[in-house]
């Protein structure tokens, strides 16, 4: 027994010596790569999950690319829940890592990030998808989002052209699309409505059924919802949820699919048409540039087709002929504002044209409708704040169910 003890003790001592040795080396060579000079910027990112989530991966990839392009150091905290853990992570990034800019990627991070922003007025805080910056009265807290409805409108154009091609080949086809959404709230409603209006600009008689899963990521539910829509006569499917559920259901049923947040071509080579997504690189580069130059960051920054924040993938093999040309044409018209996605001339509510709509722009507990969103016959989405607020149910779209969370 003594022998073993002696051996164990020796092992422990050896290990601890090695550890001490390591530490000593470390302090004597002040880690050249880690300790950046004071004038260099350091950006800290807070992510809800990690790269296994398509949502976070979209942010992480952009963060890595933007920091590399701008030559600044990036520090990340992954798996940060929407709780005080977000505040703790921000404090750690500032106190321990000396970050000059903090970015968080999830809606629920906002209040906790604002708490840190109040305590650290010298650090800039940027938050994606949030809604409170324009009312928070904090100079160093900013929201950002993109006019993703324009991307979805373009994806809808691709869907419309596909429908037209299918109808030309088979005159019995009824142009009805299906849409799998996560929750029945503005971000999703704005998304599917713009998609529908894009398709309607090509096929005026198109209709659409929508089902909600009540989750941002639930492969089984998304698959079942897509299958139910297909069984209900939908001949083309799109979705706003993060799993491969709907695309794979479409591939199995040979129904064309428009995806979101990146290409699903690898898994669905025969049915994938196109995908729209938000490219965060322009925003990250913008916020870093502003801080480098000592300039203010916009309280609400909205990415557009023009600045590259609203991005479309290449077309899938299943897309109709001539799609690329039409797409380029519509995109140019959207940028030139010749086409407005939510032009009230293009949709009806309860059979009537909409002349006025008060949207819930300022966050409050009672969801008060506070801001007139229609000007000159156009509902201006993401104008009064970057997060979407179009939440109107328009003619031609049928909600088969609702899910508020």
Partner 1 sequence: MRKTTTVKHREPLIHIAKRDDMAAWQAWLIRLAAILIGFFVMSAVLTALASTSSGKDLSFGDILERLSRSVFGRLFEGKFSQLWKFLQETAVLLCLSLAVTPAFKMKFWNCGAEGQALFGGLAAMFCMINLGGKVPEPVLVPLVILASIIGGAVWGVIPAIFHAYYRTNETLFTLMMNYVATQIVAYYVYANGQGSNVINPVSTGALPVIGGQQYLLNVLIVTLLTVLTYVYLRFSKQGYEVSVVGESQNTARYIGINVKKVIIRTMIISGALCGIAGMLLVAGKDHSINTATVGGQGFTAIMVSWLGQFNPYIIAAMAALVSFLQIGAAGAADAYFLNSAYADVMVGVVVLCLVACEFFIRYTVKFRHSKKGGALA
* Residues 178-237 contacting partner 1, CB under 8 A: 183, 185-187
Strands (E), 230-377: 236-240, 257-260, 272-278, 300-303, 310-312, 358-359, 371-372, 374-375
CB of 197 to partner 1, least distance (A): 23
Q: Which is nearer to partner 1, 146 or 297 (CB)?
A: 146
Does 26 engage in binding with partner 1 (CB under 8 A)?
A: yes
User: Which residue in 401, 384, 381, 400 sits closest to 186, CA to CA?
Assistant: 381
CB of 96 to partner 1, least distance (A): 5
Does 17 engage in binding with partner 1 (CB under 8 A)?
A: no
Q: What is the distance between the alpha carbons of residues 217 and 369, in angstroms, rounded to a whole number?
A: 30
Q: Which is nearer to partner 1, 215 or 270 (CB)?
A: 215
Q: Which of 41, 65, 73, 78 binds partner 1 (CB under 8 A)?
A: 78
Does 61 engage in binding with partner 1 (CB under 8 A)?
A: no
Q: Which is nearer to partner 1, 350 or 405 (CB)?
A: 405
CB of 368 to partner 1, least distance (A): 12
Q: Which is nearer to partner 1, 115 or 292 (CB)?
A: 115
Q: What is the distance between the alpha carbons of residues 322 and 338, in angstroms, rounded to a whole number?
A: 21
CB of 314 to partner 1, least distance (A): 28
Q: Which is nearer to partner 1, 76 or 279 (CB)?
A: 76
Q: Which of 88, 218, 298, 370 binds partner 1 (CB under 8 A)?
A: 88
Does 400 engage in binding with partner 1 (CB under 8 A)?
A: no
DSSP state of 108: G
Does 137 engage in binding with partner 1 (CB under 8 A)?
A: no
CB of 261 to partner 1, least distance (A): 17
- Tokens 């596909």 belong to 162
- Give one DSSP letter per residue of 317-354, joined into a string: TTSPTTHHHHHHHHHHHHHTTSS-TTBGGG--BTTB--
Does 38 engage in binding with partner 1 (CB under 8 A)?
A: no
Half-sphere exposure at residue 118, Cβ-oriented, CA atoms within 13 angstroms: 8
- Any idea of the CA torsion for 398, 399, 400, 403, to the nearest 10 degrees? 180
Which helix (H) or strand (E) covers residue 238, if one does? strand 236-240
* Residues 244-283 contacting partner 1, CB under 8 A: none
Q: Which residues does residue 239 pair with via DSSP β-bridges, in sequence order?
A: 180
Which helix (H) or strand (E) covers residue 239, if one does? strand 236-240
Q: What is the distance between the alpha carbons of residues 257 and 273, in angstroms, rounded to a whole number?
A: 6
Q: Which residues does residue 312 pair with via DSSP β-bridges, in sequence order?
A: 276
Does 12 engage in binding with partner 1 (CB under 8 A)?
A: yes
Q: What is the distance between the alpha carbons of residues 399 and 207, in angstroms, rounded to a whole number?
A: 11
CB of 91 to partner 1, least distance (A): 5
User: Mapping DSSP to helix (H, G, I), strand (E, B) and coil, where does residue 127 land?
Assistant: strand
* Cβ atoms within 10 Å, residue 205: 11
Task: Pick the stretch among 14-22, 152-160, 196-204, 282-290 that binds partner 1 (CB under 8 A).
Answer: 14-22
CB of 110 to partner 1, least distance (A): 8
Q: Which of 73, 92, 306, 370 binds partner 1 (CB under 8 A)?
A: 92
User: Which residue in 395, 402, 1, 6 sits closest to 207, CA to CA?
Assistant: 395
* Residues 109-128 contacting partner 1, CB under 8 A: 110-112, 115
Does 395 engage in binding with partner 1 (CB under 8 A)?
A: no
CB 389 within 8 A of CB 381: yes
Q: Which of 36, 41, 73, 107 binds partner 1 (CB under 8 A)?
A: 107
Does 18 engage in binding with partner 1 (CB under 8 A)?
A: yes
Cβ burial of 32 (10 Å; 0-12, 13-18, 19+) is exposed
Residues that bind partner 1 (CB under 8 A): 1, 4-5, 8-9, 11-12, 15, 18-19, 21-26, 31, 33, 50-52, 75-79, 81-84, 88, 91-92, 95-96, 107-108, 110-112, 115, 131, 183, 185-187, 363-365, 367, 404-405
């Amino acid at each position: 027994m003594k022998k073993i003890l002696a051996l164990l003790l020796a092992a422990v001592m050896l290990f601890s010596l090695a550890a001490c040795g390591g530490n000593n080396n470390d302090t004597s060579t002040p880690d050249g790569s880690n300790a950046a000079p004071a004038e260099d910027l350091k950006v800290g990112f807070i992510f809800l999950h990690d790269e296994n989530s398509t949502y976070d991966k979209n942010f992480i990839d952009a963060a890595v690319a933007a920091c590399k392009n701008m030559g600044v150091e990036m520090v990340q905290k992954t798996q940060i829940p929407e709780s005080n853990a977000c505040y703790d992570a921000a404090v750690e990034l500032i106190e321990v890592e000396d970050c000059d800019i903090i970015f968080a990627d999830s809606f629920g991070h906002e209040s906790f990030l604002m708490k840190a922003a109040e305590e650290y007025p010298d650090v800039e805080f940027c938050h994606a998808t949030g809604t409170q910056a324009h009312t928070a009265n904090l100079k160093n807290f900013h929201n950002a989002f993109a006019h993703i409805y324009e991307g979805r409108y373009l994806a809808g154009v691709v869907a419309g052209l596909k429908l037209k091609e299918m109808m030309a080949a088979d005159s019995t086809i009824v142009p009805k699309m299906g849409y799998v959404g996560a929750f029945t709230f503005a971000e999703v409603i704005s998304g599917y409505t713009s998609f529908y209006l894009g398709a309607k600009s090509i096929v005026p008689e198109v209709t659409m059924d929508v089902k909600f899963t009540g989750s941002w990521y639930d492969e089984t539910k998304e698959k079942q919802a897509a299958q139910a829509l297909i069984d209900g006569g939908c001949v083309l499917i799109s979705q706003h949820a993060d799993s491969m559920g709907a695309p794979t259901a479409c591939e199995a049923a040979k129904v064309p699919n428009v995806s979101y947040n990146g290409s699903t071509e690898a898994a669905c080579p025969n049915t994938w048409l196109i995908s729209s997504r938000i490219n965060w690189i322009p925003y990250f580069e913008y916020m870093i540039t502003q801080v480098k130059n000592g300039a203010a960051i916009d309280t609400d920054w909205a990415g557009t087709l023009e600045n590259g924040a609203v991005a479309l993938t290449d077309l899938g093999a299943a897309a109709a002929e001539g799609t690329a040309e039409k797409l380029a044409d519509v995109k140019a018209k959207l940028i030139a504002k010749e086409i407005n996605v939510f032009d009230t001339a293009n949709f009806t509510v309860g059979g009537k044209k909409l002349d006025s709509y008060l949207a819930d722009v300022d966050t409050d507990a009672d969801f008060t409708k506070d801001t007139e969103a229609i000007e000159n016959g156009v509902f201006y989405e993401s104008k009064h704040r970057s997060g979407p607020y179009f939440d109107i149910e328009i003619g031609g779209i049928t909600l088969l169910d609702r899910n508020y969370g």
